[in-house]
Amino acid sequence: MAISRPMLLWRHQIVISRREEAVKEKKNIQRLQELVRSLQQQLLQCKGNNKTNDTISHLTEHVLELERQQILED
């Protein structure tokens, strides 16, 4: 049983379409992975900034307390 030329072309087109779709999906996955990496880096930076801010706030509280004590002692 021979397959007609139009049928072969149709099957070939389906294979090509599936490959194109797979390539698009792979590119989308790569973009999403890059986005996740970028967001992870941003999150780490925010956590670092929060730690820095907490440290500065803590140090500021100490300085203010020392200034209050000095004022009371004067």
Question: In the predicted model, is pLDDT for residue 73 greater than 80?
Answer: no
3-state secondary structure of 4: coil
- What is residue 31's predicted lDDT score, i.e. its pLDDT? 94
Round to whole Å and give the CA distance between 31 and 37: 10
pTM: 0.59
Please state the domain extents for the chain. Answer: 5-72
Longest dimension (CA), the chain: 108
Q: How far apart are CA 7 and CA 74, in angstroms?
A: 99
DSSP at 37: H
Give the Cα separation of 40 and 25 in Å (integer): 22
Beta strands in the chain (DSSP E): none
Q: Tens of pLDDT along 35-59?
A: 999 999 999 888 887 777 777 787 7
